[in-house]
Amino acid sequence: MYVPKDLDDALKQLDLLLGDMGRAEVQRAKESDMIQYHMGLGLWMRNNWGLWAGSRLAQYFNQIGIRHPDDMTGIIFDSYWRRLHGRDIDLDAQVYRYQKYWKRSEQSK
User: For 31, phi and psi rounded to 5 degrees?
Assistant: -55, -40
Specify the pTM. 0.95
pLDDT at 108: 85
Say how many C-beta atoms besides its own lie within 10 A of residue 85's C-beta. Answer: 12
Calpha distance 74→72 (Å, rounded): 5
Q: Are 11 and 78 in contact (CB under 8 A)?
A: no
**Mean pLDDT of successive 10-residue stretches along the chain, which has 109 residues:** 97 97 97 95 98 98 98 98 98 98 89
pLDDT at 41: 97
Using alpha carbons, select from 29, 27, 38 the residue that is nearest to residue 76.
38
For 94, the enclosing helix (H) or strand (E) is helix 91-107
pLDDT at 106: 87
Look at the chain and count its residues: 109
pLDDT at 26: 97
